[in-house]
Amino acid sequence: MTLTNRNMCTGISRRTALKGVAGVAVAAGFAPVRSATGQIAPVKVGFLLPYSGTYAALGNNITEAFKLYVEERGGKLGGRPVEYVAVDDESDPGKAADNTNKLVTRDKVDVIVGTVHSGVQLGVSKVARDTNSLLIIPNAGVNAATGSLCASGIFRSSFSNWQPGYPMGRVMVERGHKRAVTLTWKYAGGEEILGGFKEGYEKAGGKVVEELYLPFPNTEFQALLTKIAEIKPDAVFVFFAGGGAVKFVKDYHAAGLRKSIPLYSTGFLTDGTLKAQGEAAEGLLTTLHYGDGLDTPKDNAFRTAFEARGKGEADVYAVQGYDAAQMLAAGLDAVKGDVGARADLVKGIERATIDSPRGPFTVGKNHNPIQDIYLREVKNGKNIVVGVAAKALMDPGRGCKLA
Ligand code: PHB
């Protein structure tokens, strides 16, 4: 038998329960959960990620890198072994609440690590908040997750949708592009990333003259490319990622638009996709909280270790998965694995400086990373960092009331 913090719901205090079952005196300080035989019980991590569809590669890299960090720590966080369950969320918002409830109620996980798709995240975050679950978001940028839906047990290791596009606005205006068309999938992720861009672009003096959309995860771009050619803006700013990003970059190139109407995006367009995009991606400028060629000891070690697993190259998604594990470790180390000591666990993450391959970061009051946004250029199949578009950029956390 193992005990989890959910024993608190029975009305017996968790510490009394522990004492009764395992005979462990825990009054002074923290203690990890033990089974009746005295074994330290594993921390149960529930991955809720896309393992199929256009975002499958993203979910896989997050999972692999999370496991890599745990293995580097000898398989233990906060002194406890780690056990995993994984659910494919299929990037389907309609299944988000059920899938999250399954992890909480059926699997009784100690922490949920999920997800990638902003629309799914809305459902996941609502359930996590209602059940007071610990949740670490390893990608989905939906602003509400660290805004109106923020909660003390909800952290993000990635970005808010506002963050990566906002600084590109100024970059494009400085490059002389005053009239832009935007294009993305019509769902929270696409709309909000373009919203962050538009805010930065119009503040810098640019004007978005047309906002074009297609349904997620549709990749029939031809009619929209024809429309862009007719409008003749100074530049185009898009959001696509994963399989859809590969197809879009190839189609834009094949349509012969690259020279006449320069293409810009957040780095999601070209991260983890460059091998498949090939020549079509060369020269693209993007903004993101990660890039190639950082050449720091931390990033070099991370990339080597990730690639040694034989599941492909590291990218931004792998970094976010690795850092989700580092954040969990910071919390569990602070309470010696005692997940019931929630307030101290949360403080442990809030106070940590995460030694990320992207560069060290801390989280803001809304639990979203405060981080540099790099300007990157695709050169010889790599997203080479060519500058910093915004230093220590903090999400505004609109609507979040965490003190
Ligand atoms: C999102 O839906 O928030 C999202 C998905 C994929 C990305 C970035 C953001 O690469």
User: Which residue, judged by its Cα, is nearest atom 7 of ligand 1?
Assistant: 241
- Sheet containing strand 76-77, edge to edge, reads 76-77, 80-88, 43-49, 111-113, 135-137, 154-156
With a 6 Å cutoff on the Cβ, whether 169 touches ligand 1 is: no
What residues in the chain have per-residue pLDDT under 70?
1-28, 403
Chain CA centroid to CA 273, Å? 17
Closest CA to 69 of 349, 348, 354: 354
Contact 316, 288 (CB under 8 A): yes
- Residues 365-379 have pLDDT tens digits of 999 999 999 999 999
- CA gyration radius for the chain? 22
Gap between the Cα atoms of 21 and 23, Å rounded: 6
With a 6 Å cutoff on the Cβ, whether 61 touches ligand 1 is: no
pTM of the model: 0.92
| C-alpha 21 to ligand 1 mean position (Å) | 44
With a 6 Å cutoff on the Cβ, whether 349 touches ligand 1 is: no
Pocket test for ligand 1, best of 161, 162, 290 (most atoms within 8 A of CB): 161
- Residue 58 identity (one-letter amino acid): L
Closest CA to 97 of 63, 66, 59, 131: 131
Within 10 Å of residue 218's Cβ, how many Cβ atoms? Answer: 12
Which atom of ligand 1 lies at the shortest distance from residue 140's CA?
Answer: 3
Pocket test for ligand 1, best of 118, 160, 191 (most atoms within 8 A of CB): 118
With a 6 Å cutoff on the Cβ, whether 140 touches ligand 1 is: yes
Gap between the Cα atoms of 228 and 235, Å rounded: 10
Contact 169, 391 (CB under 8 A): no
Peptide bond before residue 304 is cis, with ω within 30 degrees of 0? no
| C-alpha 120 to ligand 1 mean position (Å) | 11
Closest CA to 210 of 239, 244, 245, 235: 235
Q: Which residues of 154-284 form beta strands (DSSP E)?
A: 154-156, 179-185, 207-214, 235-239, 263-266
pLDDT at 25: 36
pLDDT at 33: 74
Tokens of 204: 């810098």
pLDDT at 227: 98
Tokens of 68: 């890599």
| C-alpha 182 to ligand 1 mean position (Å) | 16
pLDDT at 109: 98
- Residues 8-29 have pLDDT tens digits of 333 333 433 333 333 333 444 8
With a 6 Å cutoff on the Cβ, whether 141 touches ligand 1 is: yes
Which atom of ligand 1 lies at the shortest distance from residue 192's CA?
Answer: 3
Gap between the Cα atoms of 141 and 137, Å rounded: 8
Torsion of CA 113, 118, 122, 124, to 10 degrees: -20
- Residue 251 identity (one-letter amino acid): D
Burial 244-266 (b: 16+ CB within 10 A, else e): bbbbbbbbbbeeebbeebbbbbb
pLDDT at 24: 39
Pocket test for ligand 1, best of 58, 60, 91, 117 (most atoms within 8 A of CB): 117
